[in-house]
Amino acid sequence: MLIAYQVALEVVVELKPLVAQIAQQDNTLAKQLVDAASSVVQNLAEGVGHRGGNRRARWDIAFGEAHEVQGSLDLAKAWGYVADDSAVRAKLARLLALCWGLTKGAGSPKRAARSKSGA
């Protein structure tokens, strides 16, 4: 399984207590945060089972959803629903970097072969 998938699950674990805090103030934002985080995991998993453009499309969606998680955390912090989200932010930054690599073809066997051959 992808490292990004494992990191996405770690992000979900870190989000659980924050989602509970957010839900006390804004249930809609909490639900959107849960939906976005779940979508990251699901699209990463689904991408593994696809090839070519379909794989890339799933990983693009996962990347976008990870950004939505970031935006939801930004809103929660701006509204004062959470005070410290630094633990999840560190994992989320790693997840975004991993997803970016997947969307740019770093996970492509063809690209890896070209890199090794110097092409």
Sequence ranges of the domains in the chain: 3-117
- For the entire predicted model, the pTM comes to 0.85
CATH fourth-level superfamily of 3-117: 23S rRNA-intervening sequence (1.20.1440.60)
- Contacts of residue 73, defined as CB under 8 A and 6 or more positions apart, other chains included, come to 18, 33, 82, 85, 88, 89, 92
What does each of the 119 residues of the chain score in pLDDT, given as a tens digit?
799 999 999 999 999 999 999 999 999 999 999 999 999 999 999 999 888 889 999 999 999 999 999 999 999 999 999 999 999 999 999 999 999 999 987 544 444 333 333 43
